[in-house]
Amino acid sequence: MLSKNQHKLITSLQQKKYRNQHQLFVVEGVKVVNEFLTSKFKLEKIFCTEDYYSSIEEYEPQLISENELSKISNLATPNKVLGLFKIPKPTDLVDKGLVLVLDTVNDPGNLGTIIRLCDWFGVSQLVCSKTTVDCYNTKVVQATMGSLTRLPIVYTELQTYLKKTKLPIYGATMFGKKIKETSKKEDAILVMGNESNGISNEIEKLVAYQITIPRYNKDSSVESLNVATATAILLNEFRN
C-alpha cells in the first residue's frame, strides 16, 4: 500500500524544484521503465500492480493497486509500473562529433521528440540553454520512449559554450542558406531555436553558418516548421 509520504513525494516530482531538491524523477510505463532498468540510471524505488510484479521481482517492487497507481500517474492511462530514478551527475561538454544545441525550447513534447531524434541520428551530445525545459520533466521522459538513457545532455550558458568551442557553428534560421546548398562538416554544432522566436539575437551572433529548410509551396501561409520536425530534417541532411 502506498503511504501518504510516498504519494506526496511522487506527485511533487512533477515540479522541477522538487526534482532538484530530491534529485529524483519519475518514469512510467512498461517499455520506458524497462529501458531505464537496463541503463546506467540508478533506481531509487519502483511501484507496480500485481499483474506485473513477477516481471520485475528482482528489483523488489512495492505492490500497489491500480487505483493507487492512477492517483500518482501522469499518464491518461496508467500502465502497470512507475519508477523513481536518481538524476545523474552532469556530464562534461564534448568538442567532437555532431552536437545539437537548443536555445530555449519550451515544449516538453518537442524536447522529448528531439531527444529521440538525437538517439536515432547518433548525435554526440545535446546541449541545452538553462531556459530550455527540463529533460527530467515527466512529459519529456515519456516522450523520449527510453532514448533519454542513451544521450548525454548538458544544461549550460550557451554564449560561454559557443564562444569557447572549436567546432563550426550552424544555426537554423528563416533566411539562411538552403541546407542542400550548404557544405556541412562531420564534426559540427547545430543550433535550433525557440518554438516562437527562433534563435535569440545573442546566440545568432555566434552562428557562423545560417541555414534554412526551403519552403516549396510558395502559396502556403505556414510561417515555419515545428522545431522537432525541422530538427529531424536538418539532422538527416548532416548525416547525408
C-alpha cell at 176: 539562411
Mean pLDDT estimate for the chain: 96
Domain 4-86: CATH superfamily is Ribosomal protein L30/S12 (3.30.1330.30)
Topology, domain 98-239: Alpha/beta knot (3.40.1280)
pLDDT tens profile 78-101 = 899 999 999 999 999 999 999 999
Identical fold between 4-86 and 98-239: no
Q: What is the pLDDT of residues 7-31, one digit of tens each?
A: 999 999 999 999 999 999 999 999 9
Summarised one tens digit per residue, pLDDT across range 145-173 is: 999 999 999 999 999 999 999 999 999 99
Tell me: the pLDDT tens digits for 204-236? Answer: 999 999 999 998 887 777 778 999 999 999 999
Give me the residue spans of the domains in the chain: 4-86, 98-239
Q: State the pLDDT confidence band at 69, using cuts at 50, 70 and 90.
A: very high
